[in-house]
Amino acid sequence: MLVRLATRTGLLALLLSLSTGCTSLEKVDLGRVLTSGRDGWQHPEKVIEALELAPGDRVAEIGAGDGYWLPWLSDAVGPDGVVYAVEVDDELVAALNERVADEELGNVVVVRGQFADPELPDGEIDLAMTCLTYHHIDDRARYFERLRVDLSERGRVAHLDDRPGTGAPFRWFQSKDHWSEPEAIVGEMREAGYRRVASFDLLPAQSFQVFAPVQGDVAASDPVEGH
Ligand SMILES: C[S@@+](CC[C@H](N)C(=O)[O-])C[C@H]1O[C@@H](n2cnc3c(N)ncnc32)[C@H](O)[C@@H]1O
């Protein structure tokens, strides 16, 4: 009986990990996962539309996990575009390479990033996005300050991350560190030399904000669009 229960619990944990792109059960919102598939709460089609990607764009997902976003991003930028799938976990890098081959995502390049540097080509990236990864990155202001050299002239950075106090029941399965205050993201991105250019209220449990580098005097710039 105990063995059966443990096996089932282990299997459930594995399935939950895979379905959210997280690598441990504590990062999973069981309520959301059990009540619908990820597309049901992540609304990828709405997110992709809001990101305003165009054919030929070069995008990077920092912390690509199991590659949930890759088919969506690959389709949005088309055969002339490039999607860089950045990961720091060697097992996930191998799994991403397998997924890219299996699903014939010809415009996706898997990159083994470093914790402080995504190892992207300088001046190339039109959009860098993170989803459920922002809170994993150490010293975020320095990380995104350094990322500025990787952005193209029109480069932007989008962050989707869980918000505190929202979402379905079972939130207590998450540790307190697995989300970000949206205002804290704005503050850290400002410190990194960006201003917010868009914020979308599309997702029930996640903030979704887009930033562009500030040219010139960061201190004198408005941190948020319309303010
Ligand atoms: C919760 S998962 C999110 C996966 C994916 N973005 C998704 O939405 O399904 C966070 C991922 O970020 C990766 N990660 C953590 N720190 C990172 C860093 N500094 N650079 C790149 N990836 C990182 C982890 O290895 C993990 O796969």
Where residue 58 sits, what CATH number does that domain have? Answer: 3.40.50.150
Q: Which two tokens stand for residue 71?
A: 């088919």
Tokens 């932007």, residue located = 156
Q: How far is the CA of 201 from the centre of ligand 1 (A)?
A: 23
Residue 224 lies in a domain: no
153 Cα: distance to centroid of ligand 1 (angstroms): 26
Q: What is the pLDDT of residue 12?
A: 46
For the CA of 116, the nearest atom of ligand 1: 19
* Substitution candidate for ligand 1 out of 17, 92, 135, 136 with most atoms within 8 A of CB: 136
Residue 158: the pLDDT is 98
Residue 52 has a pLDDT of 98
CA of 21 to the centre of ligand 1 (A): 8
Contact 169, 163 (CB under 8 A): no
Compute the distance from residue 142 Cα to the ligand 1 centre, in Å: 17
Q: Which atom of ligand 1 is nearest to the CA of 61?
A: 6
- Evaluate whether residue 149 is within a structural domain: yes
Within a domain: 222: no
Cα 216 to ligand 1 centre (Å): 31
Quick check: is 220 in a domain? no
Question: Which residue among 119, 133, 142, 161 is best mutated to probe the pocket of ligand 1, counting the most ligand atoms within 8 A of its Cβ?
Answer: 133
Q: Say what the alpha-carbon torsion angle 204, 207, 208, 212 is, to the nearest 10 degrees.
A: 170
The whole-number mean pLDDT for each consecutive block of 10 residues of the chain, a chain of 227 residues, reads: 43 44 44 67 96 98 98 98 98 98 98 98 98 96 98 98 68 64 97 98 94 80 60
Query: Residue 216: its pLDDT value, please?
Result: 73
How many domains does one find in the chain? 1
* Calpha distance 227→225 (Å, rounded): 6
Give a yes or no: residue 12 inside a domain: yes
Query: For the chain, what is the radius of gyration of the CA atoms?
Result: 18
Q: 225 lies in a domain? A: no
Answer yes or no: are the C-beta atoms of 169 and 144 closer than 8 Å: no
Q: Which of 85, 92, 96 is nearest to 58 (CA)?
A: 85
In a domain, 86, yes or no: yes
User: Residue 26: its pLDDT value, please?
Assistant: 41
Q: Is-contact 73 53, C-beta < 8 A? A: yes
Phi, psi of 176 (to 5 degrees): -65, -15
Residue 226 lies in a domain: no
- List the residue whose alpha carbon is closest to atom 9 of ligand 1: 21
How far apart are alpha carbons 100 and 16 in whole angstroms? Answer: 21
What is the domain range of residue 132? 2-213
Residue 101 carries which DSSP code?
Answer: H
CA of 131 to the centre of ligand 1 (A): 8
Residues with CB under 6 A from ligand 1: 21-23, 27, 62-65, 68-69, 86-89, 92, 113, 115, 131-133, 136-137
**Integer Cα distance of 131 and 123 in angstroms:** 22
DSSP 29: -
